[in-house]
Structure 1
Amino acid sequence: MSGLVGWIDFRHDLGTQESVIHAMTNTMQSRGPDAKGIWISRNAALGHRALTVSGLPAEQPLQERIGTETVAVAVAGDIYNLPELAREIEGAGGLLKTGGSPEVLLQAYLLWGDRFVDRVNGVFGFAIWDGRTQKVLLGRDRLGIKPLYYYEYPGGILFASVPKGIMANPRFKARLDLHALPIALQPRLAMPGETPLAGLREVPPGHVLTYAESGLTRRRYWRLTSEPHHDSFDDTARRVRDLLDDVVGRQLTSAGPLSAMLSGGVDSTSIAALAVRRLRQDDADRTLDTYCIQFESDPAHFVATELRPDVDAPYAAAAADFIGSRHHTLTATVHDLLDVVRATRSARDLPGWGQFDASMYLLFRQIRNSSAVALTGEAADEVFGGYPYFFKQDVVERARFPWLGDGPRLSRYLSPELTALIKPEEDERARYSQLMSDVPRLPGEDAENARMREIFYLGLSGPLAVILDRKERMSASLGLDVRVPFCDHRLVEYAWNVPWAMKSKGGVKGLLKAAMADVLPPGTVNRKKSAYPHVQNPSYDRTLIREALWIVNDKASPLAGLFDTAGMNGLIRQISANAIRSELPGGSNQAALLIQLVELHNWVHEYGVSLG
């Protein structure tokens, strides 16, 4: 885990901009607290900060002189198949000295060009400057776990692991794109690469971008492929188990403390159980530390919902006892959450998720006290079909996002002028249609499985990106490397083609339960799906409502003019009275509808974002 920045400019000498390159690189310090390096030439500059997981960090940016020109690389992330790649490189005549990630990627590029990325298994963002061709390659892992942003301007491009690296360059001015308000107010709607800031883009997952003086080109190097599935249920379960066991083994660190998130559900318990087994194969005394979070107000205010039917802590403790991990439970108060919300915005540099970011930040902060690497069970619901909407026929059949619900949308309370400009309802339909047109189809597939394939694709898009972004930004801002085994592309590719009847055999995530049956306690197997917890506390809700009322009604608020004041006041009154009866996105409570409004305002204010 680390952070990179870069600047390519064909019209100015970057040799005179060393102080700016240092400033950009220094913004990555929390992501890479252990080492710093920069490289500057006339038209290209790279900066890198590293986190040491074990041993010494590899020197970055790494350079190789070829004739009179330099090829330089900076990579942020983890490569899980380094030994295999190293053997391929040496078999093809390449030379390796250290076998570290930057050297392996650089030599792979020299051998195979931008197609080298097809051979890489990992989570990464990378930049490779090739002085021979005067081009830079920017690439990102298949599922988009590691971030990489860029900003193109006439004659140049800026890029960085997170926006603050670009914001540190005076060429970039933070301006809210009003047409992007729908994704600022509901980030699950964002298409790959979109941000709310004008001109700021993210390298889409599974893409390589090439920038030269002639401009920017994009290549999608990975996408899901639909094929018939011929394995029996038992063979499928064994294949899922084998893949998951291999993934966990690759993602374990060879030395040092290792941690895992553990909610007591199927997903996190599966990962933690496999990790414990792997650790003890290598060293009988090695221990896995597991962590979960609960809220001080749970005994008084927790209310069971369809998506969160119970509190995690008792199930997590029981699961930890069963698998043999050393377990820790963090109890957070509302004050704890509010104290770190500003830090969570700094972790993103974009509008955040309030308490949902804050609770994860607190948990990761505790984990970081004892470990630099942690595993998590995130993404299993998207890959194996764990959410309630997968089992609701009326929701599945509706021609709209199944996870969005039928409740209020903040974007439908914009001012009449902005509503006419943006057309939020048309925008939502267009996004749905765009994703539907991108679904990899299987010719001859029956209607039910074809529709479920669409439902899975919709969930693997915006909603999964939101989950992965939160996990990565909160952990990386604390110098913690959190790994997501369920996002290994081999597992995702295999599960993609498993028919719905097989995935759901025996109930929610029946296939995954069958694959992991021998390592899961009965309490976990029989537990209903329970999403990542959120605080249910009238004090927090009142804080959100109070801030929302000020944002909408006070002319001093930078967002006041963006909304229909009367309409928003009516919505806030409904929320205050707990009067909304429709289905809400994410299964959260009514006050949580206001989080994006409050976070958008605070982001605009703290980052000096102009509107228009």
Structure 2
Amino acid sequence: MCGISGFNWNDEGLIRAMTDTLEHRGPDQQGHFCSDEMSLGFRRLSIIDLSDNGRQPMFNEDKTIALVFNGEIYNFQELRKELKDKGHVFGSKSDSEVIIHGYEEWGTEVMHRLRGMFAFGLYDMPRKRLLLVRDRIGIKPLYYTYKNGRLLFASEIKAILEDKQVERRINYQAMYDYLGFEFVPAPQTMFADIHKLPAGHMLVFENGNIHQEQYWDLKFHPGENKLSFDEAVEKMRELLDQAVQSHLVSDVPLGVFLSGGLDSSCLVALMRKHLNSSFKTFTIGYEDKSFSELDYAQIVADYCQTDHQVLVLDTLKPDYVEKTLWHLDEPMTDLSTVPLYLLCKQAREHVTVCLSGEGADESFAGYDRFKASRMSTWFNLMPRPLRKQVIGRLTSMLPDQHQKKGAINMLKRFVEGANLDPAGQHLRWQYFFNSVLESNLLQNGFRQKVEMDPFRQLREYAARCDAGKDKVNQEIYLDMRFMMTDSVLMKVDRMSMASSLEIRVPLLDHVLVEFMASLPGDWKLKGMTTKYIFRAALEGLLPDKIVNRGKQGYSLPVKHLLRGDLKPYMIELLNDSAVIRENMDPCYVNRLIEEHCSMQQNHNHVLWALINIAIWHNRFF
């Protein structure tokens, strides 16, 4: 894995500064290229072809095409053979080089032939054309800014900020969206005028102009799949096996993250089929059993005979939170971010590459929010006043319970989500802001700067989906295209790269994802059983206790920490923060703190979101 950067003028000092900022993404090598029209920078984490031949920027034979590339192309050997048969001469064994010769042979159609995760900048010197491309799913990040004819791009925002002409200004609309969804949806970032290149998109800079093109989207093609359920199960087993096997190509040691959940356990079992020697598995847990999956992880490790490493996290140091915010570049409050950061640090002591199970909950319908959406069909049969003013008020008065889920906590969360605007569809249950918070927390000046319609983008995404009347597949589309890229996958990229660790996500192999999209939603969520067809495909591969278990995850017990070890830090930080004072009502912030610490309510989502805004603002402004 690597870090890339560049801009459309010649400045060796700036490109070196941008590249140095990305050193954690690639500590093994660095490279730079400068011409009158373009500067490119690169940091390398050596995974395939460890020789100097794999250096970047990489060029074609006559040095008219330059490439900086971040990612892995898993079908590069097949592409390499095809291109060599067409007369192309390779100077390395690197997967990166197939992009250069593929572009020479097929032009921009090369993206459709790549199977992997990638973000790259390709400069065609004769045409004076720069292509910025991000993989279909959005596994690898790419940011850019274009203002007054100046285009800069990089793997991380902090590299773009090395250019002193890039103003550091808050994007208040992004802040509003973040407070509810707990991440900033593409194409926005929390910095005004700095943008994410959306997943499956290409940006073309040519003749002083830029334009974006979408080259891939998730298509469901309702009614076209003719497989029986049993045939689909067999096909899924085949594609799962192919995906995992292809992701094992490496010239350095690799391992796998094992939470004990279905997704990571699937990877471990399939890796066991293809690796002759023992391999390392890594997991994290807590003393509080309701937040921990250690026992399940141990069952799978013993079953597959892995070299299992366990990290138990008892407390959370503010220093960890601040380090993760620096690596994230913008607030993103997934409660597993810090644990993943620590897990990656531990894994990097043993391996350079880890496989991880991200993407299955989205593609296979594994989250509780899919079930909540189905349950809301019956809940909505009640009259609206009864749902909102009676049931909603009564459940809001219930005190928070200590455990992570539990019947009362789940009931409260279900009713809260069900009473939000139906335009939010199943992502209502992943939205943690509401009208009460809006009216009491946000100052008038802040409200005047933003469009206070949290689900406006969801409506746009829903309109693009071709799933017809299949509600589950509609919701999968929203998860895959709106939420996953800028929350789950951004977290995974940043926390792994913070320790110079490459994470691969086989369950997001686009061939597997496209196959899953061709199947009816009821095969994924059957009744209230999530990942139904996935479970069927894993029968006999894993113990029944693992195949049939529910979703848990390894999120941090933040609600307890804010009532304990982190309470003084939270109070001081939120009361001293300029950005909080200027945009939020300080009295209401302290009311939220009091209600949370006294266990009257669980306000951990909004408080954790505000804490992250305050840390981010202190660090970057």
Q: Shorter-normalised TM-score: what interval?
A: 0.7 to 0.9
Range that drifts further, 73-82 or 341-350? 341-350
Q: Specify the alignment match of 2:145 in structure 1.
A: 151
Supply the distance in 2 between the matched residues of 1:177 and 1:377 (Cα, whole angstroms): 32
The yes-or-no answer on 1:562 pairing with 2:583 is yes
Q: Specify the alignment match of 1:181 in structure 2.
A: 175
Q: Is the 8 A contact 1:551 1:559 kept in 2?
A: no
Q: What is the DSSP-based 3-state SS (H/G/I as helix, E as strand, rest coil) of the residue aligned with 1:38?
A: strand
Q: What is the DSSP-based 3-state SS (H/G/I as helix, E as strand, rest coil) of the residue aligned with 2:556?
A: coil
**Letter of the 1:512 counterpart:** F
The yes-or-no answer on 1:135 pairing with 2:92 is no
Q: What is the DSSP-based 3-state SS (H/G/I as helix, E as strand, rest coil) of the residue aligned with 1:518?
A: coil
Q: Is the 8 A contact 2:218 2:477 kept in 1?
A: no
Supply the distance in 1 between the matched residues of 2:329 and 2:220 (Cα, whole angstroms): 36
The yes-or-no answer on 1:330 pairing with 2:311 is yes
**Letter of the 2:169 counterpart:** R
The change in CA–CA distance for 1:278 and 1:334 in structure 2 (over 3 A counts) is same
Q: Is the 8 A contact 1:37 1:49 kept in 2?
A: yes
The change in CA–CA distance for 1:399 and 1:202 in structure 2 (over 3 A counts) is closer
Q: Specify the alignment match of 2:608 in structure 1.
A: 595
The yes-or-no answer on 1:108 pairing with 2:102 is yes
Q: Specify the alignment match of 2:73 in structure 1.
A: 79
Q: Specify the alignment match of 1:242 in structure 2.
A: 238
Q: Is the 8 A contact 1:126 1:139 kept in 2?
A: yes
Q: What is the DSSP-based 3-state SS (H/G/I as helix, E as strand, rest coil) of the residue aligned with 1:402?
A: helix
The change in CA–CA distance for 1:218 and 1:73 in structure 2 (over 3 A counts) is same
Supply the distance in 2 between the matched residues of 1:249 and 1:355 (Cα, whole angstroms): 31
The change in CA–CA distance for 1:47 and 1:434 in structure 2 (over 3 A counts) is same
The yes-or-no answer on 1:251 pairing with 2:247 is yes
Cα-to-partner distance string for 1:55-93 (whole Å, 9 max, x where unaligned): 326110012365xx7321110111101012112323333
Range that drifts further, 361-370 or 380-389? 380-389
Q: Is the 8 A contact 2:256 2:268 kept in 1?
A: yes
Q: How does 1:92-491 map to 2 (within 5 A)?
A: 92-187=86-181, 190-227=184-221, 228=223, 229-280=225-276, 286-295=277-286, 297-298=287-288, 302=289, 304=290, 311-335=292-316, 337-353=317-333, 356-392=336-372, 393-395=374-376, 398-405=422-429, 408-409=433-434, 413-424=441-452, 426=453, 428-442=454-468, 447=469, 449=470, 451-465=471-485, 466-491=487-512
Supply the distance in 1 between the matched residues of 2:438 and 2:492 (Cα, whole angstroms): 26
Supply the distance in 2 between the matched residues of 1:234 and 1:539 (Cα, whole angstroms): 47
Supply the distance in 2 between the matched residues of 1:490 and 1:207 (Cα, whole angstroms): 18
Supply the distance in 2 between the matched residues of 1:438 and 1:139 (Cα, whole angstroms): 21
Q: What is the DSSP-based 3-state SS (H/G/I as helix, E as strand, rest coil) of the residue aligned with 1:399?
A: helix
Shift of 1:39: 0.7
Shift of 1:537: 6.6
Q: Specify the alignment match of 1:583 in structure 2.
A: none
Q: Is the 8 A contact 1:125 1:138 kept in 2?
A: yes
The change in CA–CA distance for 1:230 and 1:355 in structure 2 (over 3 A counts) is closer
**Letter of the 2:427 counterpart:** W
Supply the distance in 1 between the matched residues of 2:61 and 2:267 (Cα, whole angstroms): 43
Name the % identity.
29
Q: Is the 8 A contact 1:416 1:564 kept in 2?
A: no
Q: How does 1:461-610 map to 2 (within 5 A)?
A: 461-465=481-485, 466-505=487-526, 507-535=529-557, 538-542=560-564, 546-550=568-572, 553-554=575-576, 557-580=578-601, 590-608=603-621
Shift of 1:463: 3.0
**Letter of the 1:415 counterpart:** Q
Supply the distance in 1 between the matched residues of 2:262 and 2:209 (Cα, whole angstroms): 47
Q: What is the DSSP-based 3-state SS (H/G/I as helix, E as strand, rest coil) of the residue aligned with 1:199?
A: coil
Cα-to-partner distance string for 1:42-61 (whole Å, 9 max, x where unaligned): 11011111112253261100
Supply the distance in 1 between the matched residues of 2:559 and 2:450 (Cα, whole angstroms): 35
Supply the distance in 2 between the matched residues of 1:216 and 1:572 (Cα, whole angstroms): 46
Supply the distance in 1 between the matched residues of 2:252 and 2:196 (Cα, whole angstroms): 33
The change in CA–CA distance for 1:158 and 1:255 in structure 2 (over 3 A counts) is closer
Q: Is the 8 A contact 1:82 1:101 kept in 2?
A: yes
**Letter of the 2:145 counterpart:** Y
The change in CA–CA distance for 1:65 and 1:96 in structure 2 (over 3 A counts) is closer
**Letter of the 2:589 counterpart:** M
Q: Is the 8 A contact 1:547 1:598 kept in 2?
A: no
Q: Is the 8 A contact 1:60 1:102 kept in 2?
A: no
Q: What is the DSSP-based 3-state SS (H/G/I as helix, E as strand, rest coil) of the residue aligned with 2:340?
A: helix
Range that drifts further, 243-252 or 393-402? 393-402
Q: What is the DSSP-based 3-state SS (H/G/I as helix, E as strand, rest coil) of the residue aligned with 1:504?
A: coil
Shift of 1:247: 0.8
The yes-or-no answer on 1:56 pairing with 2:51 is yes
TM-score normalised according to structure 1 size:
0.88
Shift of 1:107: 0.8
**Letter of the 1:293 counterpart:** I
**Letter of the 1:602 counterpart:** I
Cα-to-partner distance string for 1:457-482 (whole Å, 9 max, x where unaligned): 12213431201111111001111000
Supply the distance in 2 between the matched residues of 1:553 and 1:498 (Cα, whole angstroms): 51
Q: Is the 8 A contact 2:327 2:498 kept in 1?
A: yes
Range that drifts further, 24-33 or 248-257? 248-257
Q: Is the 8 A contact 2:4 2:68 kept in 1?
A: yes
Cα-to-partner distance string for 1:511-542 (whole Å, 9 max, x where unaligned): 11111112111221232221233226734444
Q: Specify the alignment match of 2:411 in structure 1.
A: none
Range that drifts further, 123-132 or 383-392? 383-392
Q: Is the 8 A contact 1:548 1:597 kept in 2?
A: no
How many pairs does the alignment contain? 567
Cα-to-partner distance string for 1:525-581 (whole Å, 9 max, x where unaligned): 232221233226734444555455445545x6332010133443333333233334x
Supply the distance in 2 between the matched residues of 1:395 and 1:60 (Cα, whole angstroms): 52
**Letter of the 1:206 counterpart:** G
Q: Is the 8 A contact 1:144 1:206 kept in 2?
A: yes
**Letter of the 1:532 counterpart:** Y
Shift of 1:191: 3.4
Range that drifts further, 255-264 or 478-487? 255-264
Unaligned runs of 5+ in 2: 381-421
